[in-house]
Amino acid sequence: MLAHGVPWQAALVMQLEMSIVYIAMLLISLLLGAFGWLPLLGGLMLIFAFVILIGMIPLFMNLSRGYFTLLLGYLAGHIIVTLLAYALQYWHAGIVASDNSVINNFQDSLYFSVTTWTTLGYGDFVPIQKMRLATSLEVLTGFISMAITVSFIWLWCTENLVPKEMAFFDGKRRYKKSLSIHRMRIRTLTGKPRDLGPDWVDPPKPGESYTWSPEKEEWVVVTEDMALNEGAKILEKDDRTSD
């Protein structure tokens, strides 16, 4: 079971369905841009795709932290598609240069799309009248993209930081040398053992590795009969001497 009582089998189905809809939204918006059709619809679909992406973050991460890379790829794909889709729309519709001439050049259109998405707005190009609302949607998409990117960075940091009481410096500023933290992924959702690489055995060798015990609030030695959950924090036994 996952959070909120959703079985993981149902969550996997939801994951697949949301991924299909998300990718379809991106492809349709890109197709509309390629033909210069319905720029407002393309912009709205890109924003709706972001709504889906936001919903996928907790769903995917509750299934497995290993989906972080996939979600990051989804975000990068959304940004690339947004820039290209709008650039194609500007290319077909034209953009107005500072001398009031209408430019139909893809390189300038891509440049205008990037400066619009980043909200820089140098002013050397402006959209034609029928593209003004669509341009505003691109600015909104850029704001959302930046916010989600910052959230992903924070999510990555929180996943790789240990709590204060587990830090390598204690209250007396003594340093435990050469400590290495690993988040073990022992089994997948199907129950099959995962490949942890040549440096690990499943489970770690008793007496050579430590795992954090929330109950005791300290590192305890891994034993042969100890059950390690997916995501368990593991400390390799190396040099635990103090200065």
pTM of the predicted model over 0.85:
no
Q: How far apart are CA 88 and CA 157, in angstroms?
A: 36
* 53, 64, 90, 189 from 7: Cα distances, Å: 21, 14, 45, 11
Domains and CATH numbers, the chain: 3-160 (1.10.287.70), 165-243 (no CATH)
DSSP label of 169: B
List the structure tokens of 111. Answer: 């440049």
Q: What is the tens place of the pLDDT at every residue in 100-126?
A: 999 999 999 999 999 999 988 888 999
Reduce the DSSP state of residue 15 to 3 states and report it. Answer: helix
**Number of other residues whose CB lies within 10 A of the CB of residue 82:** 28
Instruction: Examine the pLDDT at 4 and tell me if it is beyond 70.
Output: no
236 within 8 A of 209, measured Cβ to Cβ: yes
* 55, 100, 121 from 10: Cα distances, Å: 15, 56, 45
Q: What is the tens place of the pLDDT at every residue in 181-230?
A: 444 443 444 444 444 444 544 445 556 677 777 777 777 777 777 777 66
Q: What is the tens place of the pLDDT at every residue in 52-63?
A: 999 999 889 888
Q: What is the tens place of the pLDDT at every residue in 152-192?
A: 998 888 777 766 656 555 544 444 444 444 444 434 444 44
Q: Which of 224, 182, 221 is nearest to 202 (CA)?
A: 224
